[in-house]
Amino acid sequence: MRLVPFLRSATVTTALVVVLNKPFGKVPALGKFFSPHIGFWQNAEPFDAVPSASLQFPSLKGATSVYFDERLVPHVFAQYDEDLYFVQGYLHAKFRLFQIDLQTRAAAGRASELAGPKAINFDKEQRRLGMVFAAENALREIEKDPLSRSLFDAYTSGVNAYIDQLTEAELPIEYKLMQATPERWSNLRTALLLKMMAKMLSSGTENDLAGTNAKSIFLPDQLKQLYPQVPDSLLPIVPSATAFARPGIVPVAPTSADSLYFSHRDTVEAHSHYQPDPDNGSNNWVVAGIKTKSGAPILANDPHLELSLPSIWYEMQLTTPTSNVYGVSLPGSPMVVIGFNDSIAWGVTNSQRDVKDYYEIRFKDESRKEYFYNGKWEPTRFRIEEIKVKDSTTVYDTVAYTVFGPVMFDQQFSNGYTKQMNLAVRWAAHDPSNEGMTFYKLNRARNYADYVEAIRTFQCPGQNFVFASKTGDIAIWQQGRFPARWPGQGLYVMPGWDSSYAWQGFIPQEENPHSLNPERGFLQSANQRAADSTYPYFIPGSYITARGVRIDKQLAGMNQITPQDMMALHQDYFNTSAEDLRPVLLKNIRIDQLTGNEKVYLDAFTNWDLLATPNSIGQTVFQCFWDSVQSAIWKDELTRTDPMAPWPTEQSTLELLVRDSALSFADDVRTPVIESLSDQITLAFKRACQVLDAEKAAGKLEWSKHMNPSVYHLLKDALPAFAHKGMKVGGYGNIVNAIKHSHGPSWRMIVHLSEKTEAWGVYPGGQSGNPGSRFYDDYISVWEKGTYHPLWLMRAEEKDDARIKGVIEFKKS
């Protein structure tokens, strides 16, 4: 009789083993996931966990020591450059493996391998944009230089050294949840990561497709009003009245430009579903010793990007006998990207320049094997893209390549719209480049000449490199490989059958906008246009004006400046756009038509101090009101095409309202009556009040509650428990402290180039990518309060300092 209970028990046990080790849809195998030996329990770290170990690897040349301080910042001391970047790769993998793996898979158009069918269109668009094509071109440039190749090879070896010794129990929790494993690293994946940054910062700065639709709606003079190249209120990056040299290249417009380009009024229905955030920007500025209390320069930077956990940045110090640099690195790539060394400091902001154009392609037939170019049929090159899809069948997509680049939209991929137009994309990021070596040289730069040499070959995305040195020099240089355009080139889709519409060359590097030691004693950039109208080249882009105006005016009025003054400017909540708009809005609102709560909201707006503080109600009223006004003025015209024409920038609308009290665009063309500006502003306010009533009922009338500033995990909605929501901070995209819902200052840094360098910094995250570690998000509270960590440029003789909490020794085996 003992056999029956035994068989019953064995059957149940077998069933449990099968069930618990089998995944069900999105649910991982519960047996493994809850296993105390290999499951998620292994991702919990003791509160005081700081790594200490002695490791040996055959590819190392000598000994390297990594000292971890109380914030888990590694201070890396190596004898050789190759060992330095091997260890950097190892540390990036140790603390950010899932992050770098996910981001480079997404860059390559391989998100479907992890996310399933919902990511297929994203992957198609990545591949049709030519992300891998761009990375392959960059890789050839990286690997043709022996020094560059040795550094990238070392970094890749370091990443793989960590991956190769990783056990199932040590896998980041995201892999356990997604039932996936990491892939080994390669130099191509580093190139892909850099191209993903290029897309993030340069692929959303053009409006060719939507602009073509605007051309079908508005007359030429109206287009100039709505989309001006130089705002009235511009305070450019390079100080006004700077004398520019005669252009080294003068591009010539095609003879057919008027008929085939400017006057052609066809519309475009293709569009990108995955454009980067248009507010991906930044602030940086530098003040010379003549304006500081100490007599030494002070440099500040805060790049504005999507805020995520893990953070986009990883803080570290990298030291060899010939270099000593501190700052933030980009996990997945070697070097320090923003930081300082013993002699200089540098920071970056996005140029916002347009470096991507679209060309209409005429294929001979549906096979797409030939396309018409310069009077004859040219052969098409094809790239067959294999998209593997989790829990589904593999998808194949054949992408045609032309003289301009890949055909992003055609009869096989038009994002769901019915009208077919074959559109090839010409993007500066497709060209061979090696941006990594810019940072290698910057990390070792000692003076202005070294800085100029370091940035000279940086191509895409265009960046404003701000600089200061202990010799007292300050400088800024807008650096990138920018096409030299004839006036109007690239604003709309261009004919792809005529080489006269192709880029005719690039602006010589020495003619990119730049300034050294200006008489006024400071320089600043905040994503505004780099130069005034006297600059001899046509430089379209998606510029942001207001922050630069505020920073410029503040710095101009400051003297005896201290690092604490710079920290206060980082935290500045003043809304300069609202300052200009409020008189116009109040002048045009009909108070006699307002009722109860509407008058209360108007009073809050009228008496508001113009600060977008966390508890401000005036800022909430203003933003809802202003959004409603812009919609009332523009939506009727812009929605006459699908997709709609581009919205005029906030600054363009503001300046139109200030200049023209009649503003013919105020009339709603969809109605039989002619609405005045006062009609529309009053109606817009009433509509805004409905939103405000709903927010008040929900307890969200205060600005931070309305905006809900949050830092999400990279997988966002898939892992809400790993996010940090509802931070009590203010600001907005057009304000110096440019915080939006999940976007804002991703790294704040102040460097005082005194005799002994002083520096402070913080980012909204933590050094570890493990949600089970206290170092996962421990910086967020510091960032939220507007305070900073001192940045310790450690010396080798300080290895016994009390701040050191753990050491990893790397040796050659």
- What tens digit of pLDDT does each residue of 37-79 get? 344 545 666 767 788 999 999 999 999 999 999 999 999 999 9
Rounded Cα–Cα distance for residues 51 and 67 (Å) = 9
Rounded Cα–Cα distance for residues 75 and 65 (Å) = 8
pLDDT digits (tens, 9 = 90+) for 587-637: 999 999 999 999 999 999 999 999 999 999 999 999 999 999 999 999 999
Determine the straight-line distance between the first and last CA of the chain, rounded to whole angstroms: 61
Torsion angles phi and psi, residue 504, rounded to 5:
-95, 0
**Strand-pair category, 494-495 with 356-360:** parallel
Q: Is the pLDDT of residue 345 over 90?
A: yes
Rounded Cα–Cα distance for residues 300 and 292 (Å) = 13
Query: Which tokens in the block code for residue 145?
Result: 């230089």
pLDDT averaged over the chain?
93
pTM assigned to the model = 0.94
**Are residues 738 and 304 in contact, defined by beta-carbon separation less than 8 angstroms?**
yes
Between the alpha carbon of residue 658 and those of residues 577, 587, 609, the distances in Å are 12, 11, 21
- The region of weakest confidence among 341-355, 497-511, 664-678 is 664-678
Query: Which tokens in the block code for residue 498?
Result: 């005529």
| Rounded mean pLDDT, 114-135 | 96
Torsion angles phi and psi, residue 48, rounded to 5:
-100, 20
Rg of the chain on CA atoms, in Å: 28
Helix (H) / strand (E) element for 214: namely helix 208-215
Helix (H) / strand (E) element for 373: namely strand 370-373
**Are residues 746 and 303 in contact, defined by beta-carbon separation less than 8 angstroms?**
yes
Residues β-bridged to residue 358: 425
**Strand-pair category, 314-320 with 789-790:** unpaired
The SS3 call for residue 140 is helix
Query: Which residue, 530, 562, 533, is CA-closest to 548?
Result: 530
Q: Is the pLDDT of residue 418 over 50?
A: no
pLDDT digits (tens, 9 = 90+) for 537-586: 999 999 999 999 999 999 999 999 999 999 999 999 999 999 999 999 99
Residue 39 has a pLDDT of: 47
pLDDT digits (tens, 9 = 90+) for 164-217: 999 999 999 999 999 999 999 999 999 999 999 999 998 778 899 999 999 999
**Are residues 741 and 707 in contact, defined by beta-carbon separation less than 8 angstroms?**
yes
DSSP annotation string for 316-348 = EEEEETTEEEEEEE-TTS-S-SEEEESSEEEEE
Q: How many residues does the chain have?
A: 813
Tell whether the torsion through CA atoms of 197, 200, 206 and 209 is positive or negative: positive
Q: Is the pLDDT of residue 36 over 80?
A: no
Rounded Cα–Cα distance for residues 645 and 635 (Å) = 9
Sequence letter at residue 764: P
Instruction: Kindly state the greatest CA–CA separation across the chain.
Output: 102
In the block, tokens 């049709």 appear at 128
Rounded Cα–Cα distance for residues 387 and 393 (Å) = 9
* Helix, strand, coil percentages, rounded to 5, for the chain: 35, 20, 45
Query: Which tokens in the block code for residue 372?
Result: 């018409």
**Strand-pair category, 494-495 with 308-309:** unpaired
In the block, tokens 């032309």 appear at 402
Q: With 0-12 CB in 10 A as exposed, 13-18 as middle and 19+ as buried, what is 719?
A: middle
Query: Which tokens in the block code for residue 204?
Result: 């959303």
Residue 38 has a pLDDT of: 47
Helix (H) / strand (E) element for 286: namely strand 281-287
Residue 1 has a pLDDT of: 46
> Which domains can be identified in the chain, with CATH numbers?
51-201+359-428 (1.10.439.10), 576-707 (1.10.1400.10)
